[in-house]
Structure 1
Amino acid sequence: MGEGVTVTGDIAASSDIRVDMWSKLGSKVEVGRNAYLGEFVTIDGKLFVEGDLDVGKEVKIRGGFEAKGWIVVRNPVPVIIFLFLYIKEMMRLGKGEEIEKAVEELFEDSEDDEDFEIRELGENILIIPAGAKLSPETINVGGETIIGNNCHLTGNIRAHSVDTGENLTLKGSIYSEGKVNIGENSTIYGNLYSKGAVQIGRNSRIFGGIKADSVILHENARVDGTIKAPSGVSFLRDAAEKPALAEVNALGKVFMREKRELPENLPPAEPIKVADQVEENSPIKSSANPGSIFVPGRKRKTARTQALERSRRFTGARAYRKEQKSGE
């Protein structure tokens, strides 16, 4: 738990627990292994620790405590005074570079150890950010909320944005300033309110309404209440198989037929032969006379016009033959 976290209710941890400074725990706390309590932590109930107990300055446990391991009470004031005296003496000697180097090594080692500790914890850990408030009615987080898989939560969630995993069961509503992403196979017994986008995953069900700027809903998801989205509602669909081919007969009836796959070892296809063309001097007519075909919009030629066209063609052919003979 981060700094300034408030929890109203019992806490049970199967492994270690670490509570940062200025946090308030309102009831009984049970720890399966070791417990670390920062400065100015207050526990209204009783504390049970199976392992070691590390307690900071000004920690109040009003219900008493039981610890089966070592009990360490830290007091950071002497350490700070020692560092102050050390820096003062080194500055008097004019060794500013050594002071800077010592301070950098001190803080770098602490940051590396903290990062290594977080990485070694694995996925089965509950992280509560600083300033969060948890109660049976409300879970209030100031920043982004990330919920893992197979979680069961009771109470309303208020956060800047919410991103959940799969198989979530939430008995409460979600209030978010940003986006809300609900994973697959999740069940929400409440409403979803967001000023951003809301996305509902596959096979998820919302026993309530949705009010957001936009909604992206999977085709297999279900919402029992009303959806209000000024920017629109979109539906996601999985990649489906291609539909079967269909045939329509003359009466308009549709017959479905399956797509047949061609065998692998097929002989190469033979080229298509073009039909023999009809020679010009053949007695068989290849097509009708173009002049005798009626075309809508074309004016019919008079007999005088047709006679002039024939004479022009005849005169032109005779002049062409004369030119050919003179050239020979």
Structure 2
Amino acid sequence: MSLRPDPLSALSIPDGTVVEEHDLVADGDVLVGAQSTVEFGIRGRNVVAGERVRFGGHIEAEGDCRLDTWCTVADNVLVGGDAYLGERIEIDGQLVVGGDLDIGDDVQIAEGFEASGWIVIRNPMPTVVFLFMYLTHLLRMGEDDAAEELLEGMFDEEEGPPPLTIPTGATVSDDAWRVSAPADIGRDCRLHGNVRTESISLGEDSEIFGSLRARDDITIAPGAIVHGDVTTRGGTVTVAEDARVWGDISCEHLDLARDGVVDGTIRARGEVNMGLSTDPGGSPQ
């Protein structure tokens, strides 16, 4: 596992993630940073959200679900394992928990709740805050190995796919994915909405029904399809072999590989390299 100072420092969408009928569906865990808005319903293995996250749909977690204080959910919360709810959470639907329920003060559940295991009313520790403060402390102390072990314990990639991570303060909806961070979108993904980030890497055979806009570089891997414009303020747009852009491209520099298709107008202020061969990462050869 590559070590980052903050696992929520980028929008990271693992391979095979799709949007199905207003649900964001991931094979692995879903991690949402504080003060974010997710208009989709969420389906994943374990679902963890920081403070003041607003979900516009339901949550379905095969494993555990942890929501920190002041989170709101517009529909049901269905949890196969244990649930941990902080103070002043609002759930506009029903809460169903297959395991134990650890619940804080002043939690409002419109349609009631049921749990198969123990029910404990207290204020659960905000795990997201604790883990990342501890991780930051380890890095400052130079304990890189210990920090990496902590990350591997949180997200064991050998036991399943890497987590879907949404950074702090992000807005995710059918209209747009807006984050002040880089975006790494895996292969075989199918997403709806315009993507607005610092930089974008779109994986092989993924399909975006919306435009891409970034401050820095945008890389579109082989077989990927973008149904919209591709725009960068000061970076390079790379369109790999067999990639398709059904829209205009506006950029500083453009690398367009053999068999890459752009069905629109190309505006580049700097160099335009056409007919190059590119590797899967988008680097010209």
1:232 pairs with one of 271, 277, 283:
271
Q: Tell me whether 1:44 sits opposite 2:74 in the alignment.
A: yes
Could you tell me which residue of structure 1 aligns to residue 248 of structure 2? Answer: 209
Q: Tell me whether 1:117 sits opposite 2:153 in the alignment.
A: yes
TM-score using structure 2 length: 0.68
Aligned length: 211
Could you tell me which residue of structure 2 aligns to residue 276 of structure 1? Answer: none
Higher strand share: 2
Q: Deviations over 1:232-280 (max 9, x none)?
A: 31124349xxxxxxxxxxxxxxxxxxxxxxxxxxxxxxxxxxxxxxxxx
Q: Secondary structure at 1:235's aligned position in 2?
A: strand
Could you tell me which residue of structure 1 aligns to residue 100 of structure 2? Answer: 70
Shift of 1:4: 1.2
Matched-pair contact (CA < 8 Å) for 2:170–2:179: yes
Could you tell me which residue of structure 2 aligns to residue 140 of structure 1? Answer: 178
Correspondence 1:1-328 to 2 at 5 A: 1-13=32-44, 15-73=45-103, 74-75=122-123, 114-121=150-157, 122-195=160-233, 196-238=235-277
Shift of 1:64: 2.7
Change beyond 3 A, Cα 1:42–1:111? farther
Matched-pair contact (CA < 8 Å) for 2:227–2:246: yes
Q: Report the Cα distance in structure 2 between the residues aligned to 1:65 and 1:39, rounded to whole angstroms.
A: 16
- Determine which structure has greater relative contact order: mean sequence separation of CA pairs < 8 Å that are 6+ residues apart, divided by chain length: 2
Report % sequence identity. Answer: 26
Q: Report the Cα distance in structure 2 between the residues aligned to 1:211 and 1:8, rounded to whole angstroms.
A: 29
Could you tell me which residue of structure 2 aligns to residue 282 of structure 1? Answer: none
Higher helix share: 1
Q: Deviations over 1:74-98 (max 9, x none)?
A: 5268xxxxxxxxxxxxxxxxxxxxx
Which amino acid letter does the alignment assign opposite residue 152 of structure 2? F
Q: 4+ residue stretches of structure 1 with deviation over 6 A? A: 107-110
Q: Secondary structure at 1:181's aligned position in 2?
A: strand
Change beyond 3 A, Cα 1:136–1:233? same
Greater shift, 148-157 or 4-13, is seen at: 4-13
Q: Deviations over 1:199-250 (max 9, x none)?
A: 11111011111011111100110111010001131124349xxxxxxxxxxx
Which amino acid letter does the alignment assign opposite residue 175 of structure 2? E
Greater shift, 112-121 or 124-133, is seen at: 112-121
Q: Deviations over 1:129-169 (max 9, x none)?
A: 11111111101111100001111111100001101211110
The answer for unaligned runs of 5 or more in structure 2 is 1-31, 104-121, 126-136, 279-285
Rg (Cα) greater in structure: 1
Change beyond 3 A, Cα 1:232–1:153? same
Q: Report the Cα distance in structure 2 between the residues aligned to 1:113 and 1:41, rounded to whole angstroms.
A: 29
Could you tell me which residue of structure 1 aligns to residue 113 of structure 2? Answer: none
